[in-house]
């Protein structure tokens, strides 16, 4: 909800958290891709990814 054209601190905090989460997903996706290229299985590489973003990283890896 905007107040006078400004974002509330909750909105800004939520947006920053989403950006940080997306960056984590991107970073882990690159790592997984590199490990798979070096001969790791996808499952072994995904075991290194924190559980809260594992499904997102798997989905992103499947797209690439």
Assess whether pLDDT exceeds 80 at residue 51: yes
More confident residue, 61 or 46: 46
The string of DSSP letters for the chain reads: --BTTB--HHHHHHHHHHHHHHHHHHHHHHHHHHHHHTT--HHHHHTTS-HHHHHHHHHHHHH-
Assess whether pLDDT exceeds 90 at residue 63: no
Number of domains forming the structure of the chain: 1
Residue 42 lies in a domain: yes
Could you report the per-residue pLDDT of 5-36, keeping only the tens digit for each?
688 999 999 999 999 999 999 999 999 999 99
Residue 19 lies in a domain: yes
What is the pLDDT at residue 4?
Answer: 61
Domain coverage including residue 50: 11-63
What is the pLDDT at residue 25?
Answer: 97
């Amino acid at each position: 909800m905007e107040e006078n054209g400004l974002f509330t601190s909750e909105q800004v905090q939520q947006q920053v958290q989403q950006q940080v989460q997306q960056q984590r997903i991107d970073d882990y996706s690159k790592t997984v891709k590199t490990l798979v290229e070096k001969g790791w299985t996808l499952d072994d590489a995904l075991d290194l990814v924190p559980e809260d973003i594992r499904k997102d990283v798997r989905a992103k890896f499947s797209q690439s």
